[in-house]
Structure 1
Amino acid sequence: MNAPVAAPGMNKQWVERRAKAVSRGISAGAPVIAAKAENAEIWDVEGNRYIDFGGGIAVVNTGHRHPAVMKRVYEQLEAFTHTCAMVMPY
């Protein structure tokens, strides 16, 4: 996987943009913005690589972009992305 192109200062710009658009009640643990992820690693918009210790439940279990998960996601996208389960159960 190719890491994103390094863009110095992009984290600061995106963090400032996010602060203007997202309620202050929703915080962020780090002043960086994710650009790509693979397995247990994540790259920010400046090209810095991190070990993802804060991933969600599925990421913790399988890693980012696990081939089996990606296959099932693509299969689901071919059917539909989401419906309101209270209106149209799936």
Structure 2
Amino acid sequence: MNETLTPTADSTSDATGQADKFSWWNVWLFLAQRVFLYFVLYALSIGPFYWEWYKSRYVDGSSVLAAFYLPLVWIAEVVPPFGEWMNWYIHLWTG
């Protein structure tokens, strides 16, 4: 007898059931990674935009740009190690 084995719906669902299972843990992990990544990019973006931010905050510049970086100023004041790192990083860009 020449029998060929064909996968049934039950056998394939068992094999892929673990991969297709929804997990809230994976969703939260994904969101936490994205928030961390966006915050790092946000914090790093102050370096090249420092003089524009300075002009918008202390001279007559864009209030939108000043408001955009206001959370970084607040965090730098509340968390001194972060503020020291921001000063060091901005100094790299401004010389």
TM-score by length of 2: 0.24
The structure whose RCO (Cα within 8 Å, separation 6+) is larger is: 1
Higher strand share: 1
